[in-house]
Amino acid sequence: MTKKLLHKTSRVYLLFSAVLLIVSAPLFYYITERLYIEETDETLILHKNEFVKYSLPTLKTADIQNWNKYNRNIKIEPFKNSGKDTIFYNSYYDALDAETEPYRELNTSILIDGNPYTYSARINLVETEDLMKSIAILFLVIISLLLIGLFVITKKLSINLWKPFYETLNQIEKFEIDKSNQPKLIETNIEEFNRLNKSIEKLIDKNTSIYHSQREFVENAAHELQTPLAVFQVKIDTLIQNSNFTEEQHKILSSMNDSVSRLNRLNKNLLLLSKMENEIYNEKQTINLNEAIEKQCDFFTEQAKAKNLIIKIEMNEAVAVKSNSVLAEILISNLFLNAIRHNISDGQVLVTLTNHSLIFTNTGPSQTLVIDKLFNRFSKSNPSEQGNGLGLAIIKKIAELNNWKISYSFANNFHSFSVTF
């Protein structure tokens, strides 16, 4: 599944942003917590040092009870073998808040009147945790807003930056080498896009020149071959009418006659395509398709009998279209010829005409045709089949000249070619 370039870069950006948020939020919270704990530990040690320096020298055993009464977070307790400056987490029940709260606590041994006691100082971490959560949430909000802002700005900048590229792409998609609609590539202030446009223009000019040269060659060759082929055909017909030949010689002449006939048809089709490309058949009239189909049907009935084919026609009354009369007849003729030539013995051909479409449906090979090259010149579904591979290409060209659409479908062992007006 293909994706647009901007969508792909946006997706990468959003994925990066999500990973950044997922990783940075816990990391930020952890680092902030560690820094605050270190600061809390330093505060506990500072309070202990101040106590040892200023309060401990004057403190007596009789003062311990009053000290504990008026100092909520610094207690002097019986000796606990706590050692020197032991700092740890602890929890205490707070009667004022009616809940157990976390504390950071420092214990160290001291001497009062020559007796050992434990100095215990603590700092409540509840407010710290609330503060850190608020900071973390604020951090997430700020980072999210920054990322969203950067995403919006980056997307707008990307759209403006890639705008010349998409304009060039649209021009190339509309370009058709057989029509005089050279793409107009806009010059930009971005060096790489200008280089791209110049390269595309050179490539288009080169291919257009080659195409016109090839078209002129085919047209000239077809014109030059027309007279020699006609003379050759007449001479072969004259020889065939002569009875002074053996049976083997007649077979050779018949084979030569078939080959020349095929060359004549190929030459006529090439000339027809050349004339259509040179816009010779631009004159249009109102064509009654019902009459044109009935006329062609009468002509192809004999060919259909050779394969024992049944031709059925279903038409709306008086369907008229604007087209060149010659091209309209060739279109219908080629569709009939295609449906009969590629059919099977005892098969069917169904012609359906509505106000908006002409559909030729026929039996045939029990597999779909390759659509990609179906309407290309000299394309054959089976190389051994008769025909020169130009019939469907002519049909497509006539449809394009009239702004019609030609399509192919295969269902239930029936092949269908539909021309939509």
Q: CB neighbours of 144 closer than 8 A, spacing ≥ 6? A: 21
Fold topology of 191-277: Helix Hairpins (1.10.287)
Q: Is the dihedral of CA 298, 301, 303, 304 positive or negative?
A: positive
Element (H, E) at 127: helix 126-174
Show me where the domains of the chain are located.
5-146, 191-277, 285-420
Q: Please, which residues have CB within 8 angstroms of residue 182's CB and are 6 or more apart in sequence?
A: 175, 204, 208
Beta strand ranges found along 340-404 (DSSP E): 348-353, 357-363
Amino acid 50: pLDDT? 93
Architecture, CATH, for domain 285-420: 2-Layer Sandwich (3.30)
Give the per-residue pLDDT at 336.
93
Q: Which residues fall within 8 angstroms of residue 185, CB to CB, at 6 or more apart?
A: 167, 168, 171, 197, 200, 201
pLDDT of residue 182: 77
pLDDT in the model for residue 104: 92
Maximal CA-CA distance, the chain: 154
Q: What is the DSSP string of 206-229?
A: HHHHHHHHHHHHHHHHHHHHHHHH
**Cα dihedral angle (341, 344, 348, 350), rounded to 10 degrees?**
-40
Please tell me the predicted confidence (pLDDT) of residue 419.
94
Question: In the sheet that 99-112 helps form, which strands lie side by side, from edge to edge?
Answer: 74-78, 115-124, 99-112, 86-94
- Cut 0.95: pTM above it: no
Q: Spell out the per-residue pLDDT of the chain, length 421, in tens.
A: 566 766 777 777 778 878 887 888 788 878 888 888 899 999 999 999 999 999 999 999 999 999 998 888 899 988 887 667 889 989 888 777 778 888 999 999 999 998 999 999 999 888 777 777 787 788 888 888 888 888 888 888 877 888 888 888 888 888 877 776 778 888 888 888 888 888 988 888 888 888 777 777 766 776 677 778 777 778 888 877 776 777 787 788 888 887 877 777 777 777 777 777 777 778 889 999 999 999 899 889 888 988 999 999 999 878 999 999 889 998 999 999 999 988 999 999 999 999 999 999 999 988 888 887 888 877 666 555 555 678 888 899 889 889 999 999 999 889 999 999 9
pLDDT confidence of residue 373: 81
